[in-house]
Amino acid sequence: MIGFGKIGQRVAEKANPLLGNITVFDPCVSHDQAEKIGVKKIDNLKEGLKKADIVSLHLPYREELRHIINSESLRDMKRSAFLVNMARGAHVDSDALNEALNNNEIAGAALDVVENELDVEKGDFSHQSIVIQRLFLLLMWDGMVCTQGALRVLLLQRLQLI
């Protein structure tokens, strides 16, 4: 997980029993805070990307976080990894994501948001490995809100590992 504020912590609490072994990257959170939730905090994003099966974004928008997921970070991810963006579209460079998917650099992406959220039709989001939940169907799970598409990708990926 990238970002471990209130939303990231709630997602980790709910996902930990399903996914286990959750690692978080957030420079503003201490190792003790992460351990209280039952996750491991890392200090090096690049190393975390190399090991992650699912990279899930839970960040507020700030200009310095724009394109935190770019061509370099996508190349750092495992070929079998999935990217899940439940934060802001601008965190992911959509051109780099399309290139990574077309070159099989990652396995897929589940996007609740896209970079140019008002101009979805202008982007090329036709790749078979991208799930976009444009209907904004929400699933309430003990106070946590996930789109149905993102949750489906996470659960299917986990079931494949069993």
Provide the residue count of the chain. 162
Decide if 41 contacts 30 (C-beta within 8 A): yes
Q: How many other C-beta atoms can be found within 10 angstroms of the C-beta atom of residue 143?
A: 8
CATH top-level class for 6-161? Answer: alpha beta
In this predicted structure, the answer to whether residue 49 has a pLDDT above a threshold of 70 is: yes
Where does the pLDDT of residue 119 fall: very low under 50, low under 70, confident under 90, or very high at 90 and above? very low
Closest C-alpha among 124, 72, 75 to residue 104? 75
Cα–Cα distances in Å, from 143 out to 2, 10, 79, 152?
21, 9, 33, 18
**pLDDT for 111:** 81
Look up residue 162 and give its two tokens.
């069993």
Could you say which DSSP state residue 128 is in? Answer: T
Write down the pTM of the prediction.
Answer: 0.73
